[in-house]
Amino acid sequence: MAGINGSRVVPVAALLDGSDRLASSELITAVDISPAEPGSAYSRLVNRATMDAMCGVAVTVALGEDGTVSRCRIAVTGATNYPRRLTELEAALVGMTPPILIPPQQGRSFVDDRLAPATYRKQMTSTMAERAFASAVARARNA
């Protein structure tokens, strides 16, 4: 990022989780993203009338030689006030053997608006995460 006070490098995760913010005088000048894991997928639920995303979940996963999850990243958008990683869920999945049921996410602030109530978005986050995770695992196995 660059601004009137100079330039700085900020991890994308810090912008997504809200721990760092873009100042009003700053611009994002470049985005460096490391290559995805062997398995990745995105699943979303949209409002068919408006095509607004009510919930979207992106997953990247790497499997160990024994078929267990060795690395995993999961991010949600549309269901929460801003895109965010589900780091607690990521940590919980490492070492597990797919298929895995994704529990509803606790302690999150889900959007409650004209498109869907927060309770529905919370449940759909788990459903979309399961679908994306299963697709990512299948791709990782075939990589």
25 versus 53: the higher-pLDDT residue is 25
Query: Residue written as tokens 């990589």?
Result: 143
State mean pLDDT over 8-23: 82
The pLDDT of residue 15 is above 90: no
pLDDT tens digits for range 37-60: 889 999 999 988 888 879 999 999
With CA atoms as reference, report the closest residue to 69 among 37, 33, 34: 37
What integer pLDDT is reported at residue 60 of this predicted model? 95
